[in-house]
A = this chain, B = another copy of it.
Amino acid sequence: MFDSVKKLLIGKALKTEQLKSEKFNVFWGLPVLSSDAISSVAYAGQEILWVLIPAVGFMAFTDMIHAVLMIIFLLFVLVFSYRQVIDCYPNGGGAYIVAQDNLGVTPSLIAAAALCIDYILTVAVSISAGAAAITSAFPSLLPYTVIICIVLIIIMTIGNLRGISESAKAFAIPPYLFICVMVIMIVCGFVKYNILGIHPKPLYAIPNFTNTLSLLVFLRAFAAGCTALTGVEAVSNGIPSFKEPSQKNAKIVLLLLGIVAFVLFGGMSYLSAIYKAIFRPDITVIAQLAIQIFGQGSIMFYIVQATTALILIMAANTSYNGLPLLLSIIAKDGYVPRQFTKRGSRLGYSNGIMFLSLAAIILLVYFNGDTHDLLPLYAVGVFVSFTLAQTGMVLRWFRTKKGSWRHKALINGIGALLSFVATMVLAITKFWEGAWIVCILIPLLVFLMVRVKIHYNIVADELKLDITEKPKAINYEKQKNYMIIPIDSLNKTFLKSYNYAKSLTEDIIIFHVSVDDEATEKLLERWEEYGIDIPIVVKKSPYRNLIGPLVKFIESEEFVVMPGDTITVVMPQFVVKKWWQNILHNQTSLFIKSNLLKRRNIALTTLPYIINE
């Protein structure tokens, strides 16, 4: 039944050789990998105004253009830097791989931890913003915000478990819609103001003072707008998700992403400046612009709002393509559990997908689905990884000194410097609002990853078999195999165990734990009557513990075992036809198992006894 529900939800299993067809070309890759970056247009601009307007008043609009130009400059530095990364690292991995290759293990783990945190936050922030858009439209749904978030994540999870290509197609339409709607708005806004010469009155009062811009305020504004850049890493992480030629396709997508972000972010900032939109908690800048350009209550106003809501939800999907892949790469290196390398029945990294959903749900429940509480945690991680990746690239150019390396190193160097400044500004200005959580989490995750790696190394060392040494000649005839059969009452399950043991060895011990004198006496009587010629070892258990006496007996001096000998404990297990029947049987054997397996010379044999009902 579980299997058929699974099949219904995520589709029929796919063969490993079908893997190639599950990748995307430029047309589908652009929306899937860039929706995070594009969707930040919906909040990055107003974040800048939120910093600037109280500080510099009317001058904010001019200064905003400067900040945005700076961010767009940084964007293109990042785009070109990451295009260089794609050239050098065709198998993907982004900041993690670059840092590992050029800076060493610890920086690569810092990058990995930072990226993981940011991917999870992308889901949480985008989903909560999307849910907020829905609840703003239907205020009666407000008490169910968290539930809406969870439902959205579950839908997204199922879509991604079904497979990359299918979900890509479903998730590609909203970004394209959003891009079209935004471009239409920018064009109409420009034409209305500059060509038709219609200058509508500002919707809200603008502070009637001007102030000189301090460097600190400008940096804060710059950092606030940097949330627009969080999605860039996804493309270079996602190279293996592209159809061949995957490097070329990824580079095209990255450049297109830069251009789209430039047009939308730049265009929206220009519109904000000419139409004098301001930051307000109750109405977004985009909504203000839509009112100024198309009029309150017009059909275009609602289209703008709806596509904005949709792209925010879909932005979460970028993480679903990024994080599972990243985790699989880190898992291959042994820093996170190996299970993340396994492909599910539809060839997606199901464990990574489910881990991402679970982590995002926990965040959303903890923060009650509130975007504003989540935002201070956001973006720090991704700028840490930018800084590390680009520092790594600089070192790489200095090391390889190939081609026009000075020019390339300069691009990466500027990127590294700007990213580092942005990281510092983000971490410091948002520290007490929540960035401290990230500052604690990153080193903690690095520590855990190192612990995991150490464990895997130790296991690998312990298991390693030197095949050049020929196997020792063991005299198998001389090894003794004791078989212990616990008996509770003399019945057919016992007989099955006895026959099994008897066919393998002569050294059989029948063991009974007595918790009830009467029952034990009855058993011994029946035993004698039945006439198997082995005495039963009886141990009393005053505390009604069934496992302790067996463990004690095996460890006692009463039971002498030579090195090389093995003790096999033979246990029957009821196998029932219906799940609920399991509740009716004691699962003592499970407890016996976990207690006995701590000894080296033990083996546990389970014999199924099938109940026909």
> Which residues in A have some Cβ–Cβ distance to B below 8 Å?
13-17, 337-339, 342-343, 345, 452, 454-456, 458-459, 462-465, 467, 470-471, 474, 476, 479, 481, 490-495, 499-500, 502-505, 515, 526, 529-532, 542-545, 566, 568, 573-575, 581, 583-586, 593, 597-600, 602-613
A sample of 14 more A-B contacts (CB under 8 A), given A452-B584, A465-B495, is A14-B543, A16-B515, A337-B584, A339-B586, A343-B544, A458-B613, A465-B530, A467-B526, A471-B530, A476-B503, A479-B503, A568-B605, A603-B607, A603-B608
- Within the complex, what minimum Cβ distance (angstroms) separates A148 from chain B? 22
Chain B residue at minimum C-beta to C-beta distance from A336? B584
Q: Does A467 lie within 8 Å of B345, measured CB to CB?
A: no
- Within the complex, what minimum Cβ distance (angstroms) separates A505 from chain B? 7
Given contacts A515-B16, A586-B339, contact A462 B605 (CB under 8 A): no
A338: B residues at CB distance < 8 A? 584-586
Given contacts A505-B504, A584-B455, A606-B604, contact A612 B462 (CB under 8 A): yes
Closest 9 CB pairs of A and B: A463-B491, A597-B608, A15-B542, A479-B503, A476-B503, A467-B530, A605-B605, A604-B606, A13-B543
Q: Given the complex of chains A and B, what is the CA–CA distance between A463 and B609 in angstroms?
A: 9
A463: B residues at CB distance < 8 A? 491-493, 609
- Within the complex, what minimum Cβ distance (angstroms) separates A63 from chain B? 46
Chain B residue at minimum C-beta to C-beta distance from A462? B611
Q: Given the complex of chains A and B, what is the CA–CA distance between A321 and B568 in angstroms?
A: 43
A456: B residues at CB distance < 8 A? 584
Given contacts A476-B502, A566-B500, A573-B597, contact A581 B490 (CB under 8 A): no
Given contacts A462-B611, A543-B15, contact A500 B339 (CB under 8 A): no
Out of B459, B503, B568, name the residue touching A574 (CB < 8 Å). Answer: B459
Q: Given the complex of chains A and B, what is the CA–CA distance between A593 and B613 in angstroms?
A: 21
Q: Does A467 lie within 8 Å of B529, measured CB to CB?
A: yes
A586: B residues at CB distance < 8 A? 338-339
Q: Does A606 lie within 8 Å of B603, measured CB to CB?
A: yes
- Within the complex, what minimum Cβ distance (angstroms) separates A314 from chain B? 29
Given contacts A467-B530, A607-B603, A610-B598, contact A481 B459 (CB under 8 A): no
A464: B residues at CB distance < 8 A? 491-492
- Within the complex, what minimum Cβ distance (angstroms) separates A504 from chain B? 5
A613: B residues at CB distance < 8 A? 454-455, 458-459
Given contacts A452-B584, A465-B492, A476-B503, contact A610 B600 (CB under 8 A): yes
Chain B residue at minimum C-beta to C-beta distance from A525? B467
Q: Does A467 lie within 8 Å of B455, measured CB to CB?
A: no
- Within the complex, what minimum Cβ distance (angstroms) separates A593 from chain B? 7
- Within the complex, what minimum Cβ distance (angstroms) separates A601 from chain B? 9
Q: Does A492 lie within 8 Å of B16, measured CB to CB?
A: no
A544: B residues at CB distance < 8 A? 16, 342-343, 345
Given contacts A605-B605, A606-B603, contact A611 B531 (CB under 8 A): no
Q: Does B612 lie within 8 Å of A608, measured CB to CB?
A: no
A604: B residues at CB distance < 8 A? 605-606
A505: B residues at CB distance < 8 A? 504
